Structure 1
Amino acid sequence: MPPRRWHVTRTVLTAANGTTCAGLLLALVTRTRIRRGRDGVLIAEGWRLRMPPASCFTIGSVIITRRSAEWLLAEERAVLFAHESRHAGQYAVLGPLFWPAYWVACGWSYLATGSYGVHNWFERHAGLEDGGYPPELPLRPWLRRSWLGRLWR
């Protein structure tokens, strides 16, 4: 699908499945300022809660950031914006099922490596390094010794 059509399709799907509405509701409740981003993505700037510890995260087609929209849209953060936009695409496909699937993937990754992202399927497919994650971490020793560790290699 051409990029422009995908942006429109993603925006329509995340609106229809309610995930963008959830992102906007969270932004409104936490009093973050909502701004227009690029490619059909909205940016909620000024997130003040401590969780999650990341500089930004995505719900539907809403990227929520501690910083300003200008910070996120700056050319030097184009890969971070692209990473978060790929998460919006994941929401378009999975809708609200993204949340439990993402947290299971976080749990597996943390169990395997001590990082929530390195072996998280969603983070890997959004671009690990684009999202600020290390490209690889060793499996925990107990897992390396198990049959799962042998399969993983």
Structure 2
Amino acid sequence: MTTPRRHLARTVLTAANGTTGAGLLLALITRTRVRRGRDGVLIAEGWRLPVPPASCFTIGSVIITRRSAEWLLAEERAALLAHESRHAGQYAVLGPLFFPAYWVACGWSYATTGSWGVRNWFERHAGLLDGGYPEELPLRPWLRRIWSGGRNAQRLRP
């Protein structure tokens, strides 16, 4: 559980490092309506672009959603809101470096499992299940072969 002091620190840091400003600028450009959320986050509702395909994503302390703020703030989506709020905390720590670090983590996860989130460090630490990701997926076959050191190939030899 996070404290009001931690929410304030996150809000101040994401404002100071410019990531909340970037989220608000994106909201302005795309004509999403910004509303106040809980625990120091803002919610930009009505995202209409096809990417990313997720129902929500976060930039700084701005959670951008295809749905309404009420939808995201509903009690049955408390875990999703918490997941996105944890991303805001990650932005507070990394600032603009979050963008490239996150996409490298997405690339690693996709290369190893075919999912953008399962092996993505940022998604794992924001809570995979809370974000709607499976907790685990098998490694891709090429990576399993590397990890096993070719042991399976040796077993198949006569």
**Structure 2 stretches of 5 or more lacking a match?**
151-158
Q: Please list the CA deviations of residues 12-33 of structure 1 after superposition, one character each: whole Å capped at 9, or x if unmatched.
A: 0000000000000000000000
The 5 Å alignment of 1:113-128 reads 113-128=113-128
Partner of 1:93: 93
State the 1:145 CA deviation: 1.1
The answer on whether the counterparts of 1:109 and 1:120 sit within 8 Å (CA) in structure 2 is yes
State the 1:3 CA deviation: 1.0
Comparing 47-56 with 139-148, greater Cα deviation is found at: 139-148
AA aligned to 1:133 is Y
Which whole-Å CA distance do the structure 1 matches of 2:109 and 2:64 have between them? 23
Partner of 2:46: 46
The answer on whether the counterparts of 1:139 and 1:149 sit within 8 Å (CA) in structure 2 is no
- TM-score, with length taken from structure 1: 0.95
**CA distance 1:111–1:2, shift in 2 (3 Å):** closer
Which whole-Å CA distance do the structure 2 matches of 1:148 and 1:113 have between them? 16
The CA RMSD over aligned residues, in Å, is: 1.6
AA aligned to 2:81 is F
SS at match of 1:131: coil
Partner of 1:83: 83
State the 1:148 CA deviation: 7.9
The answer on whether the counterparts of 1:45 and 1:69 sit within 8 Å (CA) in structure 2 is yes
Which whole-Å CA distance do the structure 1 matches of 2:25 and 2:145 have between them? 45
State the identity as a percent. Answer: 85
- TM-score, with length taken from structure 2: 0.92
Runs of 4+ displaced beyond 3 Å: 147-150
Larger radius of gyration: 2
State the 1:147 CA deviation: 3.4
Partner of 1:107: 107
AA aligned to 1:67 is R
Q: Please list the CA deviations of residues 92-147 of structure 1 after superposition, one character each: whole Å capped at 9, or x if unmatched.
A: 00000000000000000000000000000000000000000011000001101103
Which whole-Å CA distance do the structure 1 matches of 2:146 and 2:80 have between them? 35
SS at match of 2:130: helix
AA aligned to 2:131 is G
The 5 Å alignment of 1:1-153 reads 3-147=3-147
Which whole-Å CA distance do the structure 2 matches of 1:4 and 1:29 have between them? 31
